[in-house]
Amino acid sequence: MDTEVLIVGAGPTGLMLANQLARRGVRAVIIDRHAGPSLQTRALGVQARTLEIYSHLGIVECALELGKRATGANMWAEGRRTARIPIGDIGRDLSPYPFLLILGQDDNERLMGDALRARGQTVRWNTELVGLAQDTSRVKATLKNADGTIGEVTAAWVAGCDGARSAVRELNAIEFAGAPYEHVFFVADTEVTGAMVPDELNVYLWRKGFHLFFPMRGTDHWRVVGILPPHLRGRDDLTFEDVIPSVRQEAGAELSFKACGWYSTYRIHHRCAVRFRDRRCFLLGDAAHIHSPVGAQGMNTGLQDAYNLAWKLALVTSGRANTTLLDSYEVERMPVARRLLITTDRAFALVVSDSWWAGLFRTCVLAKLAAFAMTCDRIRTLAFRTISQIGIRYPDSSLSETLPELPDTAPRAGDRFPWLRLKLQPNGPIEDMFAKLDDAPFNLIVVGQHPPSIQLPALGDLLRIHAVPSDAANDAELARARIPRPSFYLLRPDGHIGLAGAQLDVAAVHRYLAERMVLAAEAARLDVVR
């Protein structure tokens, strides 16, 4: 076998997977058909859950330094600012990164590429996947090099992170069900002055669509995204000059464009692969699902696909878990993609609908309604949990088990374990629990009871135990997160709760690891314990 995992595609999804596998000691090769990293940026919004993952990768500080925190969204209609929605720190107490970070996809890819190089691995550019053949033990991939020569790589697993036109998906004849939208988007990287509120998101709603102005690093630097007005659709030769009059008409005549560094139009689709796996091949990111960019979810969802699959591949390739663990990838990630398609479809329909009532709703009602709704704590929290992706849950996964005596109000199996600040030593300092939790092993968090010292399996580097001491500050923090005393939470490496219960039940932990995680060594030890 040449490698354990062949990663096809070095966009954000492939780079995240390569980093996660490298950190976990898995041999992987990452290829891309392009000559080098893309300089054109598509995604702009980095969600809180992505930043949490970046912190484990050691790149969050650089991302925060390079990006801009979205502090507010200013809504404009018919030349007037109709509302300002404060979104800075909207998720306070819910995440160490309670905001949306505006940082271009090219910068995200560069940070992940640098992190990968620091781990001694590089992308094989100019290398295109052109053929695949798999049997029960391996995949043979045919690769075309820049000079036209053809080579072959054998891998135990192939990860298709190769975007919307995925060769991995097509070579496995997996249908990409869905359709294109009729609207055509444009994106332009501009130097422009105007009435926009500096350093904040400016949203121009008009009868037939919208324009978004994203503040970027540098003076008067804005990324403008919008849909082409109907009379410009269908033309292949458009330049940004052609679009400017319609932007001026809707976003204000005083707009003065000084330069346009980059401009592109694109047609978007809403599609989801009917399977995310064919035996030894997986689909992740845009190869598995694409949807409208409304809500800044696409890149972030691909990054989480990679984070979900990486720890499972690491356990399987190291021989510590049975291959059936990999079945949970599709079971967990496909519902997330399907839900995303439905919600982005609805939101997109609302912001682009040509109907009279939708135009009226957009220009006269939407901004005020959104601003009013965001004054309500519960709606703000719900909005943040949904958009930031910290609310993604896997309740129906076979890896999720909540024991009966845990109160219904407590965090359940499948949830991302909440962000807490706790004293982990009696009389010690209050610590950020996420910073304490290593995302390579499983973490067992024991609340309001003594942790087991000797009964738990000697899983070595695979299990860390954290006992939360009794303390007034801890009690308040646990109550805020609705975590009862006593309780215990066994977290998977990706921070989602695998097993949850009240009184720590060592036999249940054994059984869970052996039967649900199908840890091979653990199953053997279970026999001894019995």
Ligand X SMILES: Cc1cc2nc3c(=O)[nH]c(=O)nc-3n(C[C@H](O)[C@H](O)[C@H](O)COP(=O)(O)OP(=O)(O)OC[C@H]3O[C@@H](n4cnc5c(N)ncnc54)[C@H](O)[C@@H]3O)c2cc1C
107 near ligand X, judged by CB under 6 A? no
Q: How far is CA 35 from CA 146, 177, 299, in A?
A: 8, 30, 21
Name residues contacting ligand X, limited to 173-212 (CB under 6 A): 185, 187
C-beta of 11 vs 411, nearer to ligand X: 11
Q: Please, which residue, 105 or 328, has the CB nearer to ligand X?
A: 105
Find, among 403, 381, 393, 422, the residue nearest to 492 by Cα: 393
Contact between 389 and 304 under an 8 Å Cβ cutoff? The reply is yes
- Applying CB under 6 A, among 23, 45, 363, 509 the residue interacting with ligand X is 45
Q: Based on CB atoms, which residue is closest to ligand X, 145 or 455?
A: 145
The C-alpha atoms of residue 247 and residue 365 are separated, in whole angstroms, by 21
Q: Which stretch binds ligand X (CB under 6 A): 296-304, 362-370, 438-446, 510-518?
A: 296-304
Q: At which residue do the structure tokens 């926009």 appear?
A: 196
Using CB under 6 A as the binding rule, whether residue 14 contacts ligand X is answered as yes
Quick one: 39 or 479, whose CB is closer to ligand X?
39
| CA gap 29, 322 in Å, rounded | 22
Least Cβ distance, residue 299 to ligand X (angstroms): 3
Nearest distance in Å: CB 112, ligand X: 10
Element (H, E) at 371: helix 367-373
Q: How far is CA 451 from CA 40, 401, 439, in A?
A: 51, 20, 20
How far apart are alpha carbons 5 and 31 in whole angstroms? 11
User: How near is the Cβ of 476 to ligand X at its closest, in Å?
Assistant: 35
For ligand X, which residue of 55, 202, 246, 297 counts as binding (CB under 6 A)? Answer: 297
Q: Which residue in 6, 8, 116, 447 binds ligand X (CB under 6 A)?
A: 8
Does 43 participate in binding ligand X (rule CB under 6 A)?
A: yes
Specify the residue for token string 């703000």: 380
Interacting residues with ligand X between 128 and 157 (CB under 6 A)? 128-129
Q: Supply the minimum distance, in Å, between the C-beta of residue 183 and ligand X.
A: 12
Contact 514, 522 (CB under 8 A): yes
Instruction: Report in angstroms how near the CB of residue 429 gets to ligand X at its nearest.
Output: 35
CB of 373 to ligand X, least distance (A): 22
- Out of 3, 12, 400, 492, the residue judged to bind ligand X by CB under 6 A: 12
Q: Give the C-alpha separation, 293 to 284, whole Å.
A: 17
DSSP line for 482-513:
T--SSEEEEE-TTSBEEEEESS--HHHHHHII
Q: Are 422 and 433 in contact (CB under 8 A)?
A: yes
Q: Residue 3, SS3? A: strand
Position 296 contacts ligand X (CB under 6 A) = yes
Q: Inter-axis angle of helices 12-23 and 105-118, to 10 degrees?
A: 20
Query: CA separation (Å) from 181 to 270, 291, 339, 352?
Result: 7, 9, 18, 10
CB closer to ligand X out of 163 and 495: 163
- Look up residue 182 and give its two tokens: 């009729």
Binding characters for ligand X, 217-256, by CB under 6 A (x = yes): ----------------------------------------
Interface with ligand X by CB under 6 A: which range of 285-293, 460-468, 474-482, 513-521? 285-293
Chain positions 391 to 430 lying near ligand X, rule: CB under 6 A, are none
Judged by CB under 6 A, which of 4, 7, 26, 42 binds ligand X? 42
Euclidean distance between CA atoms 261 and 188, whole angstroms: 8
Task: Tell me how many residues contact ligand X (CB under 6 A).
Answer: 34
Evaluated on CA atoms 127, 129, 132, 134, the torsion sign reads positive
The one among 51, 70, 103, 299 contacting ligand X by CB under 6 A: 299
Close Cβ partners of 305 (under 8 Å, ≥ 6 residues apart) = 13, 284, 285, 288, 333
Looking at the Cβ atoms of 13 and 388, the one nearer to ligand X is 13
Considering the complex, state which of residue 388 and residue 474 has its C-beta at the smaller distance from ligand X: 388
Degrees (nearest 5) of the Cα angle 382, 388, 392? Answer: 75
SS3 230: helix
302 belongs to the binding site for ligand X (CB under 6 A)? yes
Is the CB of 321 or the CB of 334 nearer to ligand X?
334
Residue 34 touching ligand X (CB under 6 A) = yes
- Is position 11 an interface residue for ligand X (rule: CB under 6 A)? yes
Q: Kindly tell me which of 9 and 495 has the beta carbon lying closer to ligand X.
A: 9
* Interaction of residue 31 with ligand X, rule CB under 6 A: yes
174: burial class by Cβ within 10 Å (0-12, 13-18, 19+)? buried
Q: Verify binding: residue 266, ligand X, rule CB under 6 A.
A: yes
- Residue 105 engages ligand X in binding (rule: CB under 6 A): yes
- Among residues 298 and 448, whose Cβ is nearest to ligand X? 298
Min separation Cβ 14 and ligand X, Å: 6
| Sites of contact with ligand X (CB under 6 A) | 8-14, 31-34, 42-45, 105, 128-129, 161-163, 167, 185, 187, 266, 285-286, 293, 296-300, 302
